[in-house]
Copies of this chain bind each other. A is one copy, B any other.
Amino acid sequence: MISKSCLVVFSGGQDSTTCLYWAKQQFEKVHAVTFDYGQRHRIELEAARVICELAQVSQVVLPINSFSALGGNSLTDANQEIIGVGKGNLPDSFVPGRNLVFMTLAAAYAWQNDIFDLVTGVCQTDYSGYPDCRLNTMRALEQSISLGMDAKFTIHTPLMHLSKKESILLAREVGAYQALASSHTCYNGQFPPCGTCPACILRAKGFEEAQYPDPLVERGNE
């Protein structure tokens, strides 16, 4: 169904790339917002830019310096080792409240532009221990941004209940497959991807199960 505008929260990763193309099928006009939160691998931001260009989607990059200031997690803190168990048995790559803040800022930007449909690639199936990727969190958030901005927001989560394999099949269905060659996943920030970090391993497993090659790996082999 073609209708109105939406804003995709877009990291340049595999899942949000799939969502971007999904959104292009569902909405008349698609915008993307990417957060520059001090991620230690700037290659992510570059991937996001390239894919928006490929998809011909207008992109805004919003800075947020609060998470680096908060510190204490392995995705922004260069002094912290990656991948392990952090506080409260959550992975130490857990940045508390990160998705909540991203979604709320995305809503603020959307509100300013009369957009009330947000799209995010969060996924409960493979949620890796991140509580802010779950459906009930997204539903509660939808409620708080709608009340807080006095507007009826809808948060679309097309990947919420998909396995990695199913996400890849969806990527093919919505025409995102080739763009995945430009997406970024590797926790070590490498291209060609390191292939050994948990993110690369999870990604590879999905492509294996879907029985398609990963266009990113193929690009790395060229």
- Give the interface of A toward B (CB within 8 A): 62-67, 69-70, 72, 87-88, 90, 95-101, 104-105, 107-109, 111-112, 131-132, 134, 136-137, 140-141, 143-145, 147-151
Contacts and interface: CB of A to CB of B under 8 A. Distances in A.
B144 A140 contact: yes
| Number of copies of chain A assembled together | 2
B63 A69 contact: yes
Contacts of A72: 112
Nearest to A149: B96
Given A87-B112, A132-B149, A143-B144, 17 more contacts: A63-B66, A64-B65, A65-B65, A66-B105, A96-B111, A97-B107, A97-B145, A97-B149, A98-B108, A99-B148, A100-B145, A101-B104, A101-B105, A131-B147, A132-B147, A137-B147, A141-B144
Nearest to A134: B147
A140 B147 contact: yes
A64 B62 contact: no
